[in-house]
Amino acid sequence: MNVLVTGGAGYIGSHTCVELLNKGHGVVVIDNLVNSSAKAIERVEQITGKHVDFYENDVRDRAALDRIFEKHDIGAAIHFAGLKAVGESVQMPLEYYDNNLFSTVRLCEAMRDHGVKNIIFSSSATVYSGTNQMPLRETDVTGMCTNPYGWTKYMSEQILRDSAKAIEDWSVVLLRYFNPIGAHSSGLIGEDPRGIPNNLMPFISQVAIGRRDHLNIFGNDYDTPDGTCIRDYIHVTDLARGHVAAIDYMVEHRGESVFNLGTGIGYSVLDMVKAFERVNGIKIPYEFAPRRAGDLPKLYSNPDKSAELLGWKAEYDLDDMCRDTWAWQSKNPMGYGE
Ligand code: NAD
Ligand code: UD1
């Protein structure tokens, strides 16, 4: 099947392109490169030995979408394109609502008008409300988001759910990611954040390469065994394979479905620092700093539904995630910028 991958030059999108191509799917990418590099597409081609049709366009550009759907026989879309920095979304809510919601609406309209009936959406654990017990199940309460980024995911889920009800024969799969880290085992593609990384693993690996002198650990007085926050980290290649499993699933199932993509295992910030040090033999200097606003002490998934219905389970462990993060960072100290 030919799959339209929006945001396919980005971190998760590029890894998903590799897994789709490895499974024999055709890949068409639309990405405006607002947070990525065209080099990622070249690297995907290098890893797989296969061609990617790449369009440097904005997903909100309806005319560009029309040209793509007219030129290629697309069977499904995976919608990764979006802005994702939580703090920035608080500073620039209108830009986030514009980019993340209108890209979803324009894409759905174009799919409807061109008879494309399958869409997978990049949602996030952030849509679950803070009142739930761990581990999080797909049936748990959503909403009460703490920032505009989270609301764009929540609202996009609703837009897609309503579309699945209204448009005949549509299939919508909402995938709620936990904390993707790591990189392709080749070290050729990986996460390349612009500016100071917001997320833990990119920060640790930039300390390891010498771009930052130490890690600040946000809070060591949480109600967890070592006082630091617990998250469900998942290897990006496992996450990417979850999308390939969802493509297979949606061919057989119409309407709306939602799945957690996580490992179900929680690790603390200190666990992550120690694992990175042990696996890669590099010391990560750190200091304890005040809590970061909006952080929950524990966040991890129950991934049983994905195992049962998608036949998908995370296979890589924490050591793999730490090793592959470092393989990418050490081979590309400045990311794609070199
Ligand atoms: P990323 O920034 O690396 O990738 C997003 C891609 O979308 C980038 O290449 C960017 O250039 C592109 N893009 C953004 N707006 C666009 C637009 N209007 N038109 C065309 N291209 C556009 O981020 P990622 O980590 O790969 O995340 C992919 C998706 O998964 C995002 O929707 C993100 O919100 C979601 N998600 C990510 C995480 C995570 O931890 N990385 C967790 C949960 C959900
Ligand atoms: C963050 C986002 C979340 C998003 C997810 C995707 C926030 C508040 N939440 O989640 O909406 O879906 O990324 O990846 O931004 N940490 C440090 N020092 C650092 C960086 C992080 O101690 O320099 C800690 C954090 O306090 C947290 C843990 O590491 O306890 C993980 O942080 P991060 O990687 O940002 O992920 P989340 O907070 O889970």
pTM value is: 0.98
Question: Which residues' Cβ are closer than 6 Å to ligand 2?
Answer: 86, 124-126, 150, 179, 198-200, 203, 215-218, 229, 231, 269, 292, 294-295, 299
- The tens digit of pLDDT for each residue in 46-85 reads 999 999 999 999 999 999 999 999 999 999 999 999 999 9
Q: Which mutation among 147, 179, 199, 298 tests ligand 2's pocket best, with the greatest number of atoms within 8 A of CB?
A: 199
Q: How many CB atoms lie within 10 A of CB 95?
A: 13
The DSSP result for 237-268, as a single string, is HHHHHHHHHHHHHHHH--EEEEEEES-S--EE
Has 55 been annotated as catalytic?
no
Ligand 1, pocket residues at CB < 6 Å: 7, 9-13, 30-36, 58-60, 80-84, 99, 103, 122, 124, 177, 180
- DSSP letter at 337 equals G
Atom of ligand 1 nearest to the CA of 125: 43
**267-296: average pLDDT:** 97
Work out the average pLDDT over 143-162.
Answer: 97
Distance in angstroms (rounded) separating the CA atoms of residues 227 and 276: 19
Closest alpha carbon to 287 in 217, 336, 239:
217
Atom of ligand 1 nearest to the CA of 57: 20
- Following DSSP, what letter does each residue of 123-191 receive, concatenated? EEGGGB-TTSPSSB-TTS-B---SSHHHHHHHHHHHHHHHHHHHSTT-EEEEEEE-EEE---TTSSS--
Q: How high is the pLDDT of residue 96?
A: 98
| 279, 116 Cβ separation under 8 angstroms | no
User: Where does the pLDDT of residue 338 fall: very low under 50, low under 70, confident under 90, or very high at 90 and above?
Assistant: low
Average pLDDT over the chain reads 97
Note the pLDDT of residue 189. Answer: 98
Mean pLDDT across 35-55: 98
Confidence band, pLDDT 50/70/90 cuts, at residue 177: very high
What is the position in ligand 1's atom list of the atom closest to the CA of 35? 11
Q: What pLDDT shows up at residue 328?
A: 97
How many Cα neighbours within 13 Å face the side chain of 313?
8
124 Cα: distance to centroid of ligand 2 (angstroms): 12
Q: Are 8 and 32 in contact (CB under 8 A)?
A: no
pLDDT tens readout for residues 247-257: 999 999 999 99
pLDDT band at residue 294 under the 50/70/90 scheme: confident
pLDDT beyond 70 at 236? yes
Per-residue pLDDT, 273:
98
pLDDT at 165 over 90: yes
Q: Which of 16, 17, 31, 99 to mutate to test the pocket of ligand 1 (most atoms within 8 A of CB)?
A: 31
73-128 per-position pLDDT tens digit = 999 999 999 999 999 999 999 999 999 999 999 999 999 999 999 999 999 999 99
| Alpha carbon of 82 to ligand 1 centroid (Å) | 4
